[in-house]
Structure 1
Amino acid sequence: MGKPVLINDQDCDIDLPCPVDEQYITERGPIPEGQQTSPLLATIHVVRSIGQLTRTLRSATISPATLETFELHFNTCLATFPSQFHPRTDQDLDPRSLAPVIYLQNARLLLHRHNISPFCPDIVRSSAMDYCVSTALDTANILARCMRNYPNANALPPGPAGNNDPRALFASGAGSLLCTHIWRCTLLLLFRQEFAGALACVQALASIGDVRTVNAACGRYLSFFLRRLLSRLRRSDGIDLERDEEMMAYVSGDMQGTSDGSWVWHGSETGSQLEAMSPMRSTPVSGGHPAQHERDTEWEGWEWIEKTVQELFTEQRQRAYSQRDTPMGGQSRQEVPTNSGSTLAPELATSDSDRRSSSAHSRMTIASII
């Protein structure tokens, strides 16, 4: 098979479906009641932006104006999704219907992750990490709503072998893009010590297990990354990982696997540049990828990863409780979600939406992208 080619809009003479028509797209044909739509139109608009996103990622950095334009477009796409796909709702979601919203989440994550490169100023890198973690938390909430045993799970069409267990349904519909997107989100959430969201992501990946080959590779890398993270956390509770260039390279994951985004070996075939930049170096970075030397060794398995992240989350929550209950105690380093529901970080909704609303003021138009 040949390499797939993206189709340019100007090469087509077929109109896109309109929202007024889309509400009548159903599997069995009858016209639905109300204004419920399918995610088809939203998916089309997301995919249309991929070509321009790919070209944008070839630049060393992405300008604020370009980021705002993409954000405006992605927010517009999200608004056209049915309500159950929105990241901060608490509605039940069929595990097999994830693909459309994951396309959007993955595109948004790749966009902002590009600026965590050391070629960007510190303030730009920090802002990029904020957006990445916000997107990862949104993904974690979506996954949590898919994985829980919600009351009407038995009303879903049966999955393989008649199994309606949400985890089995989730695994049956998981593709490579979903696995790699959740893996990227998990790295970012662990890095920022958002252990509640990271746990939801790890449980989703663990449910897929070895069904997908790429998922086993993701698990091996997560095991490696988690051990490196634990070694840092044991040294100091107040460590600033974003000033540790070795950990920044590890959290960038597959960015180091392409010539467009890789910076680990930039200007140094031996990796000495990274060694000089990292203030807390503990192990050498060898091979063409951060965890190259781990590939041929045994790893602990998903059970160990899930157990370790659960313990980190429990310790974090207990520490936050003890500090809150101490009259003269200091505030905790970060907000820890205390609810047991699927909405993992409701406290982030206001600040994040305020930050993203600035995209509406961009002087560029969506037409400059599509």
Structure 2
Amino acid sequence: MAASSHNPFPRSPNPSTRSYDSSSVSSATSPRPQVQLLGNLMSSNARPNTNQTPQPIGIPPMPPATQTGFQPYTPVTATSVMGRDSLPPTESVASTPGLSSAQLSANVSAQKRAYRQRRKDPSCDACRERKVKCDATETTSCSECSSRNVKCQFTKETNRRMSSIKQVQDLEKQIERVRRENSNLRRTLSERGEHMDIDVEVAEQSPQQLLPELNSEPRRRKRAAPLLQDPSRARAAFRNFSKGVLKPPAPYRQPQASITTFDLPRPPLPPKAAVDKLLHTYYGAAHIMMPILHWPTLQHQVEELYQNTTDLQRVPISWHSMFFAVLAVGSLFSNDPYPDRTLRANEFLEASRSLTDPWNNDFDLDNVRASFLTSLALNELNLKSGAWTWLGTAVRSAQDLELHLEVVGVRSRVETDMRRRVWWAIYTLDRTLSLELGRPFMIDDADCDVALPEPFDDHYLHTEGPVRPPNAAPLTHFLHGIINIVRSFSAMRKAFSNSVIEPPRLATFDSHFVACQKMFPEACEANNSTLIAPHMLMPLAYLLSSRLLLHRHNLAPGCPPEARNDAIQQCKATAIETANLIARTNATLADTATALLVTHIFRSTLFLLLTGYYELASTCLRALKSVGVRRDIVIPCGRFLSFFLQILGAKQQELLTVLPRSTTPGYPPQAVLPDPRAVQEALLKDEELLIYVSADMQASTETSWVWIGAEREAPLTTPLSSTGGGLAHPDNRTGLSAKEREDWGGWDNLIDLTMALASGAASPAPGYTPRAQTLPPIKVEQGVNLPGGGIAEIGSNRNSPTAGAASGSRSTERISIANII
């Protein structure tokens, strides 16, 4: 074969004037278009006006001229484009000087062998006319044309078709090269702390890219930079003459003396001893998770307030409103008898509301705190729509103060950190309440760049900086751990937009939650057996509830059977971990259980009952019984569980009579029950039970399927708004009438019915041996150290659920298997 270097006419286009497709295959010496390639725009070292050599399908590009050995063929992978690895296109070998004939022949022969294995080479025009074998390659002319010193060209119809395929290949290689270089540029800018204003499609981002790193600071937003070196003159004039036209940013606003202040007669203060007790309970239940107050400062302000109770007008009305909201939340977690506890919380909330100006146009940090604490209290009172509305007020007033933006150098260290804490507490409640209700988030992550709070407790945080004694824990609250959990909710909401969450994405979320769990104390690990304090379950409820809600999404009817079964198993695993944590608590949950924790225990109980883990389900039922009327959502949960147990028992008995019975030698067929595993598998596939076990998933239009077709039963009408009734009426808080709150049988009946199901139902999966799951007796071993030196007692002995509690007085209308049949 003649060397290409001896051919004065390498492959070239047809010299005729006939019009042909511009995508025809040409050699490296063919005339090049005057338009720059897209790849040259992104590469600084690319030569101008250099065409990329198209490659056949399934063939890697030619190695560079400086490569001495042949690089073997790379097989097709999942990441390759049309059967090729994503490698940058190389320049033409024929146009590169310094390549010997032997090296070129070896490269060409190897490349041709790999190419010949996949499809027949198109022949040049001369070989097609002479009907001889053509050995032309992408870079060299054939030996026939070389020996005859003619141009090796491809202009026939079949060759133009091949050229179109190769043009698509060429464009795909260029696009892949641009993507790769863009990725490198983004990575470089990210390492420099800069931001590249390029819209990245969400579909191209992996789940790991959507999840923020643990304790990572939000990306800083751009700030305008003045062209003047000192705009103080313009600033003074602007501040003076812009009054009434606009407001300066919140950190640079100045109080206006001419504004008429909103002031009303102040409600009377409760006794100082009652206030100290309520602050004590507030600290142990709310402050350890949402430390929005600097506790030493609050204690000092309360002391000053009670030194002169005759002149309450001296206290800022916004602080006074916030103070009553703190007392309301503390009342909800106190151990006062029912209904005194709820009535007093309602009085404090009403006092806080009466000190709130509905037409306020100038907010401060205490206004934001008051709205947030009111939303938190309404959520605990099971008034979720009201909590949602007050949370919107807190979000908007916080954004008016620009708490969502990081402000540097204008405030003290304590005030700066309090702004951060307040904002992240609002962010947490927004994410949690929105996910629970299936509603959109009010806060967009892209709008926020406020830093995380400092990892120090209040009594170590001072104006001059954190000061703490040696060998002392700098942080005892759980705000940072909760923030890491709820920051993943944005990615979860994007995953919920798909009908099915694929296993790789589920695995990414599970890995993130495992990393979040490691930030909690070692006693909170699932494989640990030490006792834990009940207040530890409150922050863990954010983690466990998020994991259950994530996998529960795949229970929808549109999911494949494998995905639905895996969702049940994953939710069951989370429920088992929850029950084991409850069994390891050293006191009752009555004084520390939040509405989120109660709701998660309720969901876990449903999955434990469905999957046949009746002992663990009884543990959850005893925990809910211990909370009782402390949380208004407990009674509705118990009523739903009573209904679910009735349906589950009836379906189980029906399956025992319908399924084929196994034959045992020496016993009649009627005396042998069906295989328990077959019964359990049938229950897991029951569509009606899956609707019930999904519970509050049916509250959202996007995720529910039980309401499909309801418009055919009766015309859809908008219900009339209620006339109110106040916070004190239990019908408003529970959604149940007095009769409905009493006719569900009680917790003892639920525990008895659960154990009855266990006696004649399918056993749990093989290989699992359930422990004796009972809440241990009261054993208060640790408490929350208050800055003032007090110890917050966790739990009270009169509400401790024990295994023997089920043998107490029971209603005569106890539900049983016989009653169900």
TM-score by length of 1: 0.68
1:71-114 Cα offsets, whole Å, 9 max, x none, are 12111111222111122311211112212111000001000001
Q: 2:769 aligns with which of 337, 340, 359?
A: 337
Bigger shift: residues 103-112 or 27-36 = 27-36
- Give the CA deviation at 1:231: 0.8
Q: 2:596 aligns with which of 168, 171, 177?
A: 177
* SS of aligned partner of 2:621: helix
Change in 2 beyond 3 A, CA 1:73/1:227: same
1:115-159 Cα offsets, whole Å, 9 max, x none, are 01111010010011111100111111111111xxx5xxxxxxxxx
8 Å Cα contact 2:457/2:475 also seen in 1: no
Tell me the equivalent position of 2:614: 195
Q: Structure 1 residue 229 and structure 2 residue 648: aligned?
A: yes
- Give the CA deviation at 1:13: 3.7
Tell me the equivalent position of 1:263: 705
Distance in 2, Cα, partners of 1:32 & 1:312: 52
* SS of aligned partner of 1:223: helix
* SS of aligned partner of 1:210: helix
* SS of aligned partner of 1:98: helix
Tell me the equivalent position of 2:689: 247
Bigger shift: residues 333-342 or 178-187 = 333-342
* SS of aligned partner of 1:56: helix
Q: 2:542 aligns with which of 61, 82, 103?
A: 103
- Give the CA deviation at 1:181: 0.6
* SS of aligned partner of 2:708: coil
Tell me the equivalent position of 1:92: 531
* SS of aligned partner of 1:173: coil
- RMSD after superposition: 3.1
Tell me the equivalent position of 2:754: 309
Change in 2 beyond 3 A, CA 1:192/1:178: same
Change in 2 beyond 3 A, CA 1:7/1:31: farther
Distance in 1, Cα, partners of 2:596 & 2:476: 24
8 Å Cα contact 2:579/2:620 also seen in 1: yes
Bigger shift: residues 295-304 or 72-81 = 295-304
* Superposed counterparts of 1:1-370, under 5 Å: 1-3=390-392, 5=430, 7-16=443-452, 22=455, 25=457, 29-32=468-471, 39-146=478-585, 150=586, 166-167=587-588, 170-235=589-654, 236=656, 237=676, 238-239=678-679, 240-266=682-708, 269=711, 298-313=743-758, 334-340=766-772
- Give the CA deviation at 1:306: 1.5
Highest relative contact order (Cα 8 Å, sep 6+), 1 or 2? Answer: 1
- Give the CA deviation at 1:315: 5.7
How many positions carry a matched residue from both structures?
285
Distance in 1, Cα, partners of 2:768 & 2:459: 41
Q: Structure 2: where are the runs of 5+ without partners?
A: 1-389, 396-429, 431-441, 461-467, 657-675, 714-735, 776-821
- Give the CA deviation at 1:304: 0.5
Distance in 2, Cα, partners of 1:178 & 1:84: 18
> Which residue identity lines up with residue 627 of structure 2 in the other structure?
I
1:188-242 Cα offsets, whole Å, 9 max, x none, are 0000001122111111111111221111000000000001111122232432112
1:235-273 Cα offsets, whole Å, 9 max, x none, are 3243211221111111111111211211123356469xx
Distance in 1, Cα, partners of 2:608 & 2:583: 15
Change in 2 beyond 3 A, CA 1:94/1:258: same
8 Å Cα contact 1:189/1:195 also seen in 2: yes
- Give the CA deviation at 1:298: 1.4
> Which residue identity lines up with residue 234 of structure 1 in the other structure?
Q
- Give the CA deviation at 1:180: 0.9
* SS of aligned partner of 1:59: coil
8 Å Cα contact 2:554/2:564 also seen in 1: yes
Change in 2 beyond 3 A, CA 1:88/1:196: farther
Distance in 1, Cα, partners of 2:750 & 2:710: 33
Distance in 2, Cα, partners of 1:186 & 1:56: 25
> Which residue identity lines up with residue 769 of structure 2 in the other structure?
P
Distance in 1, Cα, partners of 2:473 & 2:598: 34
8 Å Cα contact 2:606/2:641 also seen in 1: yes
> Which residue identity lines up with residue 191 of structure 1 in the other structure?
L
Tell me the equivalent position of 1:347: none
* SS of aligned partner of 2:513: helix
Distance in 2, Cα, partners of 1:141 & 1:90: 9
8 Å Cα contact 2:500/2:554 also seen in 1: yes
- Give the CA deviation at 1:69: 1.9
1:10-68 Cα offsets, whole Å, 9 max, x none, are 43444336xxx84x658775444699976443221001112332343243222223212
Bigger shift: residues 254-263 or 5-14 = 5-14
Q: Structure 1: where are the runs of 5+ without partners?
A: 151-165, 272-291, 321-331, 344-370
> Which residue identity lines up with residue 641 of structure 2 in the other structure?
L
1:301-347 Cα offsets, whole Å, 9 max, x none, are 1111122223444666xx97xxxxxxxxxxx864452533789xxxx
8 Å Cα contact 1:91/1:145 also seen in 2: yes
8 Å Cα contact 2:611/2:684 also seen in 1: no
> Which residue identity lines up with residue 175 of structure 1 in the other structure?
T
8 Å Cα contact 2:457/2:474 also seen in 1: no
Change in 2 beyond 3 A, CA 1:266/1:306: same
Distance in 1, Cα, partners of 2:508 & 2:707: 31
Distance in 2, Cα, partners of 1:225 & 1:311: 14
8 Å Cα contact 1:209/1:302 also seen in 2: no
> Which residue identity lines up with residue 304 of structure 1 in the other structure?
N
Q: Point out the structure with max Rg over C-alpha.
A: 2
8 Å Cα contact 1:179/1:205 also seen in 2: yes
8 Å Cα contact 1:90/1:342 also seen in 2: no
- Give the CA deviation at 1:175: 1.4
8 Å Cα contact 1:57/1:260 also seen in 2: no
TM-score by length of 2: 0.32
Q: Which has the higher helix share?
A: 1
- Give the CA deviation at 1:187: 0.3
8 Å Cα contact 1:144/1:200 also seen in 2: yes
Distance in 2, Cα, partners of 1:27 & 1:231: 58
> Which residue identity lines up with residue 177 of structure 1 in the other structure?
L
